[in-house]
Structure 1
């Protein structure tokens, strides 16, 4: 029997951390319609799972996070106006799921983070990359008009001047430039990337889930126009923390000079 085709999205779950792995290394993990669609479904499931403390997104192999769209699929996936609209809806759905996740999201970037890959990364709460990583939005080299929403997301992260440079030049930026712009949180030697990411995930997973959820919800609300922000919902979550068993455990552990054990209730 012929070998089955590799899964384009891989998942792992361990110690409260859900991992979503873009698995198209032969094409630098470039995204197909299937990857956008299935990825959104998996992320939505992670978001609804009370056992998940944080979500890590990364790419298979050692060359890329995600290097944009899979051009080899364009003949099928963008062959007509209707096909393009279907593809665009899948991308928009993936991004909307990312923005609504009330769990911490971390991008582990090792290599190319280009176009749609950068769009995925900037939807994450935290981005950590290796020194060899490269970042780019090549739309201007391809004659592609970039949607205002995507430009707004990047502008919010790096500011208008750097956003303009990224879109106008369409060049690749180094990891050092990316951290200087605020595009990533940390730059690590490739050999130390995983150790840093695992330490980050461990710290998040050991902290109080209700407190983290409260902070994440506030960050989601603050991305909205001020008139649409639900401050009352955030205040309710703050009160829930104060009334929780975890709050008692945190104070008790501090007084007893021991590590707290939080249970999310």
Structure 2
């Protein structure tokens, strides 16, 4: 089993964002457990830096995001900062501008991403999780958007993913009420993809990450690009990008290696070329 607990390669936001790499898997940890991993502005910016670091590391094939401790993935934004950073429309716009990088980079992230969710996954934390490709949650997790209880408004990009996942009716119910739902309900409506017992969460996440890491990177990239284009409005789809990555796969060393390994009844050794 991979063990990231003794290995931290980089830290950001004064140690509240941790980055580790092992066997082609990158791990970003939200490390603010005394506040249930609530995200400060510095942590949002640190998350962007960590994502860029792993994006540009050729040895990393998949990225996991997880929260430190057993109580939360991310419980939302750090509300204690709001009086200074989001006290009116102008300040909130500046806050959104400075923290928007994580949404933009995750939305276009070229490598597979997995949210490993234990405990509270609320507000901005749920936004981050929804931008991941795969969401695996422990059975004790809770999900919700408390914006209506704080007087906050979410913008188009913030809610587009929610509506895409759960549909407009459930999006309205969650946003209008600020209610929290458990992991079974979240699975049923499409907020998350898989629920496992809390005790099995890390092993289940690592198993999926290792499977992805062992597969052909170009084939995974092709799937990600194509699925992303499918979800866009027809007039906004980049069909050339789909054709280009498909051609790259068919001409790759990995495709030849995959065929050869199948014929030789052995595990393929993919290099991403």
Q: Same fold (TM over 0.5)?
A: yes
User: So what's the TM-score if we normalise by structure 1?
Assistant: 0.94
Match of 2:23?
15
Match of 2:217?
209
**Number of matched pairs:** 261
Deviates more, 1:224-233 or 1:122-131: 224-233
Match of 2:4?
none
Match of 1:121?
129
Q: Does 1:253 align with 2:235?
A: no
User: So what's the TM-score if we normalise by structure 2?
Assistant: 0.91
In the alignment, structure 2 segments of 5+ residues that lack a partner are 1-12
Deviations 1:39-62 (A, max 9, x none): 112212222222110111111111
Q: Does 1:226 align with 2:234?
A: yes
Deviates more, 1:24-33 or 1:163-172: 163-172
Structure 1 residues 171 and 79, CA gap change in structure 2 (3 angstroms): closer
1:170 to 158, 178, 181: 178
Match of 2:187?
179
CA distance in 2, matches of 1:222, 1:86: 32
SS in 2 for 1:13: strand
1:54 to 62, 76, 91: 62
CA distance in 1, matches of 2:152, 2:72: 22
In the alignment, structure 1 segments of 5+ residues that lack a partner are none
1:105 to 113, 124, 127: 113
Contact 1:58 1:65 in 2 (8 A): yes
Deviations 1:46-104 (A, max 9, x none): 22222110111111111000011112222433356554333111222210011111100
Structure 1 residues 94 and 55, CA gap change in structure 2 (3 angstroms): same
Structure 1 residues 164 and 226, CA gap change in structure 2 (3 angstroms): same
CA distance in 2, matches of 1:97, 1:192: 29
SS in 1 for 2:100: helix
Deviates more, 1:101-110 or 1:89-98: 89-98
**1:218: how far off?**
1.6
CA distance in 2, matches of 1:220, 1:50: 22
Deviations 1:126-149 (A, max 9, x none): 000000000010111222222232
CA distance in 1, matches of 2:92, 2:160: 22
SS in 1 for 2:158: helix
Match of 1:73?
81
